[in-house]
Amino acid sequence: MTAPLLLFAAFAGLLVGLVVGLLLGRRSPAARLRREGLARSSLLGWLHAAPVGWLIIDQGSTVHLINARAEQLLEVPGAALPSLQPLASICAAPELLELVANTRQRHRIQRLCWQRHGQEIELYGLPGRSGWLAVVLFSRRSLEAQLEQQERWVSDVAHELRTPLTALLLVGDSLAAQVNSRNAVLVERLQRELLRLQELVNDLLELSRLENALPSPEAPRPLLDLAVLVDQAWSGLRPLADPRGVVLELRLQQEGEPAPQVRADRSRLHRLIYNLLDNALRYSPDQSPISVTLRSGGRWCELRVRDRGPGLSAEDQERLFERFYRGDPSRARSRRGGSGLGLAIVRQIALTHGGRVQAGNHPEGGAQLELLLPLPG
């Protein structure tokens, strides 16, 4: 599920509770909202006018609300309301009935991709109180169109920015060839800032592609050796690390065992590991090691990257993977700037591979970032 849909599902779950409270007439958060001026008719009116389909169903599988968009997607004629009807009499499709049953039984959000009359529909079952639930319906065709439009817009903006940036970089190179003692510092700063802007544009484009990617069937990903990928990523950073005396220590949790392998997109997993090592390098003191530990167990493999820097504050640990978040600049041991998107990209790549990443402090000092990825089934 993409980040926007996760946020929508969380909001929709809250909305289900409010609607149930209104329909049951209980004095709950919904009752407080009524006292503050949010009338039942307003809330139900918004649901009926929503651009996504909504079904509100009670514990006996009777439909209390079906909006116009849901009628279109389910192809049911002129509203089951105001007279209440069983869900099976409105739409008896086994996929829909199973989604409702699973949502009620497991009491957590359920997701289903459904082919109906040549149209691909995405459904989310959202549990409520006392056996009530909602089903939210999207047309994947329209959702994909929106995401494609958003990605196209970002790509167009990135392209328009790249052209003048390339021209400015050429101007900077020309100035650098004619530099003198009076403007050397200014020319160096110009080149550094232009490179940072170029990196920012590229990272924004990559993050947009990752966040807007819908889950879809794809060819099996190749098996990749994590130790080999770590070594390849470090090779790209060694010219920056060697002058500072920073070295890489790569070890397996169980010595003598082969390094864990995962199924992944090679270029994106390389980017993920590169960003983790690059972040550690920025905060590593000179003449210190960066430790990478690989281990596997159960259904997961783990990659830990530890630096010997000052560690993470409580706010850093909570917000480190947010886009454009920058911690205390005094932690940095490198003067290199970044786009502020490197760790946000790490998190998104991990999510697209069914994994997760988290940050903390090592008991013996320094920050430690942990990546979990599923082992091949």
In this predicted structure, the answer to whether residue 13 has a pLDDT above a threshold of 60 is no
In this predicted structure, the answer to whether residue 33 has a pLDDT above a threshold of 50 is no
Superfamily of domain 3-140: PAS domain (3.30.450.20)
Q: Give pLDDT tens digits for 131-175.
A: 899 999 988 765 556 656 666 666 666 667 777 777 777 878 887
Name the more confident of 103 and 170: 103
Range scoring the smallest mean pLDDT among 22-31, 37-46, 351-360: 22-31
Q: What are the sequence ranges of the domains in the chain?
A: 3-140, 143-211, 223-374
Range scoring the smallest mean pLDDT among 98-107, 172-181, 301-310, 316-325: 172-181
Residues 6+ apart with CB under 8 A from 153: none
pLDDT score at 305: 96
pLDDT score at 82: 47
Q: What is the mean pLDDT of residues 201-213?
A: 70
Name the more confident of 332 and 314: 314
| Coil/strand/helix, residue 215 | coil
pLDDT score at 40: 61
Positive or negative torsion for Cα 273, 274, 275, 280 = positive
Name the more confident of 236 and 193: 236
Per-residue confidence at 358, pLDDT binned at 50, 70, 90? very high
CA distance 55 to 41: 16
What is the crossing angle of helices 266-282 and 342-352, to 10°? 140
| Coil/strand/helix, residue 80 | coil
pLDDT score at 36: 47
Q: What is the mean pLDDT of residues 353-368?
A: 92
**Encoded tokens for 19:** 């609607």
CATH T-level topology, domain 223-374? Heat Shock Protein 90 (3.30.565)
- The residues annotated with a catalytic role in the active site are 159
pLDDT score at 30: 47
Q: What is the mean pLDDT of residues 217-228?
A: 80
Q: What is the mean pLDDT of residues 231-254?
A: 91
Per-residue confidence at 17, pLDDT binned at 50, 70, 90? low
CA distance 123 to 114: 7
E-state strands within the chain: 53-57, 62-66, 85-86, 110-116, 119-127, 133-139, 223-225, 247-252, 261-263, 289-297, 300-306, 356-361, 367-374
| Coil/strand/helix, residue 137 | strand
Q: Give pLDDT tens digits for 243-278.
A: 999 999 998 866 667 788 899 989 889 999 999 999
In this predicted structure, the answer to whether residue 203 has a pLDDT above a threshold of 50 is yes
CA distance 178 to 320: 41
Per-residue confidence at 339, pLDDT binned at 50, 70, 90? low
Instruction: Please state which CATH class domain 143-211 belongs to.
Output: mainly alpha
pLDDT score at 211: 66
In this predicted structure, the answer to whether residue 226 has a pLDDT above a threshold of 90 is yes
Residue with tokens 């009338």: 39
In this predicted structure, the answer to whether residue 292 has a pLDDT above a threshold of 90 is yes
| Coil/strand/helix, residue 172 | helix
Q: What is the mean pLDDT of residues 166-185?
A: 79
Beta carbons of 299 and 374 less than 8 angstroms apart: yes
Question: What pTM value is reported for the model?
Answer: 0.54
